[in-house]
């Protein structure tokens, strides 16, 4: 069993980075302690906020562009999304090897430049009237490839920026930023698309990557909690998979994450079906539902950020609450009760995912963190091909409400079943007060 108490982080905690601030300054429980204690994190958060808004602007504009190019084909939009997700399943494990083999900051500098270039090409093709739907497909696939190679390094980099004491807080703030930009980005994109079209939106997004690049460039290397990268060697990917397989606590965590994601986190399908087919509302009402979940997610992220350390007990409680709330949303009698329940569902979902993410970060030794986080990325995003077809079949056969009722119930059963099947592991973990450093 891996040392989920985080002993590999203890050395960092005692010594700190060479140019870092005193350890005592990081022991406070202030909601924004990562921002206060770490200059590098302030730079990272600034870049994340601006680039995140630009990213959601592009997602919205890209969907709108595809609809324009295909006379409103929902299938074409689905193909575009699928082409962005497919590389995650294909290449994220290889990206995890890169995250351990090279300096994560360098990987991010290169990948952010490539992502900005892809957005620039899409913008130039659009504003010049040269864009074709196959261009969008190709660029969407390219974006997915870069994200698959980039994401494990990105997720593991948070630990290097703030260290073990503040990583849970930083992950909560990252999630809060994600949910805030998810609200602001589409709203700004809608205004800009109506005023100037989709092309300028892509160009603006390309410029936001420059802000992220600048933030990464200005970071102080001597204030990062970083060790030397792992030397290149054969079998490093197998080594990472073997490490997770041999540590049953990580197996349990990732199994629960996979099953809950597959059965319960299908809102891209269920929210649209419920809004349109059950409550017979329009696009604006569907947008309200999406925003309610994002607001709940923001609240859940901020609550998570206040914790000193994440716990397995808290993760399981949040996962169970999320599953029950998913089922409850399927039973709501009218649109407004459905939307209100989405607020609570978003809160529970974010509390669950941020806790699982924090525990995974703290459970992995430094030399293996990129590969462990790569498998985590695959588990979370790779569940979509499992869940989406099943949810679509349920909706078509038994009605949209069944997708939520059955999905939430299956999610809850999977949690209970996994804990029962791995009872000795679960009992040992639940006996601990926290999942991180004692």
SS (HEC) of 332-390: CCCHHHHHHHHHHHHHHHHHHHHHHHHHHHHHCCHHHHHHHHHHHHHHHHHCHHHHHHH
- Residue 202 neighbours by CB under 8 Å, 6+ apart: 58, 61, 62, 119, 120, 122, 123, 126
| Cβ neighbours around 397 below 10 Å, total | 8
Residue with tokens 């069993």: 1
The string of DSSP letters for 51-96 reads HHHHHHHHHHHHHHHHHHHTTS-HHHHHHHHHHHHHHHHHHHHHHH
Which pLDDT score is estimated for 27?
44
**Helix ranges restricted to H, 163-274:** 167-196, 198-218, 236-245, 248-264, 267-273
Contact 188, 20 (CB under 8 A): no
* CA atoms of 134 and 119, how far apart (whole Å): 15
- Residue 336 structure tokens: 């407004």
* CA atoms of 39 and 166, how far apart (whole Å): 13
Which pLDDT score is estimated for 78?
67
- Residue 295 neighbours by CB under 8 Å, 6+ apart: 179, 183, 343, 346
To 5 degrees, how large is the angle CA 243–CA 248–CA 251?
Answer: 80
What is the enclosing helix (H) or strand (E) of 133? Answer: helix 133-162
Residue 423: Cβ-neighbour burial (10 angstroms; 0-12, 13-18, 19+): exposed
The string of DSSP letters for 282-347 reads -HHHHHHHHHHHHHHHHHHHHHHHT-SS--HHHHHHHHHHHHHHHHHHHH-SSHHHHHHHHHHHHH
Residue ranges for the chain with pLDDT beneath 70 = 1-29, 72, 74-75, 78, 233, 268-269, 272, 282-287, 382-392, 396, 426, 429-438
* CA atoms of 116 and 213, how far apart (whole Å): 10
What SS3 class is residue 39? helix
Q: Locate the domains of the chain by residue range.
A: 7-13+31-430
Nearest to 143 by CA among 83, 74, 69, 62: 83
DSSP 150: H
What number of CA atoms fall less than 13 Å from residue 344's CA on the CB side? 14
Contact 308, 168 (CB under 8 A): yes
Which pLDDT score is estimated for 163?
86
Per-residue pLDDT reduced to its tens digit, 397-416: 788 888 889 889 999 999 99
Which pLDDT score is estimated for 110?
93
Total count of residues recorded for the chain: 438
Nearest to 225 by CA among 362, 360, 96, 356: 362
Per-residue pLDDT reduced to its tens digit, 327-373: 999 899 998 999 899 999 999 998 998 888 888 877 877 778 788 88
What SS3 class is residue 433? coil
- Residue 308 neighbours by CB under 8 Å, 6+ apart: 29, 168, 434
Which pLDDT score is estimated for 101?
83
Which pLDDT score is estimated for 272?
66
Domain at 7-13+31-430: CATH code: 1.20.1250.20
């Amino acid at each position: 069993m891996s040392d989920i108490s985080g002993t590999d982080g203890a050395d960092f905690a005692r010594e700190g980075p060479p140019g870092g601030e005193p350890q005592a300054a990081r022991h406070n429980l202030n909601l924004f302690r990562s921002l206060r204690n770490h200059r590098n994190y302030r730079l990272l958060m600034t870049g994340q906020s601006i680039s995140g808004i630009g990213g959601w602007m592009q997602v919205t504009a890209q969907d709108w562009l595809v609809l324009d190019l295909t006379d409103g084909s929902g299938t074409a939009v689905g193909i575009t999304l699928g082409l962005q997700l497919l590389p995650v399943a294909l290449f994220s494990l290889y990206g995890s090897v890169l995250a351990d083999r090279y300096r994560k900051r360098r990987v991010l500098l290169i990948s952010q430049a490539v992502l900005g270039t892809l957005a620039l090409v899409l913008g130039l093709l659009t504003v010049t009237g040269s864009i074709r739907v196959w261009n969008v497909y190709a660029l969407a696939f390219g974006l997915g490839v870069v994200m698959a190679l980039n994401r494990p390094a990105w997720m593991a980099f948070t630990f290097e920026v703030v260290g073990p004491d503040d990583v849970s807080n930083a992950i909560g703030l990252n999630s809060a930023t994600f949910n805030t930009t998810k609200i602001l980005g589409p709203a700004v994109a809608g205004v800009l698309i109506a005023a100037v079209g989709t092309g300028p939106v892509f160009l603006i997004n390309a410029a936001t990557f420059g802000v992220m690049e600048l933030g990464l460039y200005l970071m102080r290397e001597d204030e990062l909690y970083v060790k030397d990268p792992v030397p290149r060697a054969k079998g490093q990917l197998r080594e990472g998979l073997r490490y997770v397989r041999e540590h049953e606590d990580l197996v349990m965590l990732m199994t629960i994450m996979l099953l809950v994601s597959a059965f319960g986190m299908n809102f891209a399908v269920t929210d649209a079906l419920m809004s349109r087919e059950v409550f017979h509302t329009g696009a604006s009402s569907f947008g309200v539902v999406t925003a309610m979940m994002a607001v709940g997610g923001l609240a859940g992220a901020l609550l998570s950020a206040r914790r000193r350390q994440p716990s397995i007990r808290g993760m399981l409680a949040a996962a169970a609450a999320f599953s029950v709330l998913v089922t409850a949303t399927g039973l709501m009698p009218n649109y407004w009760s459905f939307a209100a329940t989405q607020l609570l569902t978003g809160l529970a979902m974010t509390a669950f995912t941020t806790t699982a993410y924090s525990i995974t970060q703290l459970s992995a030794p430094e030399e293996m963190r990129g590969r462990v986080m790569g498998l985590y990325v695959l588990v979370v995003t790779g569940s979509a091909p499992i869940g989406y077809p099943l949810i679509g079949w349920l909706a078509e056969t038994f009605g949209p409400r069944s997708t939520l009722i059955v999905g939430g119930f299956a999610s809850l059963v999977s949690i209970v079943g996994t804990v029962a099947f791995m009872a000795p592991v679960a009992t040992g973990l639940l006996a601990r007060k926290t999942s991180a450093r004692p």
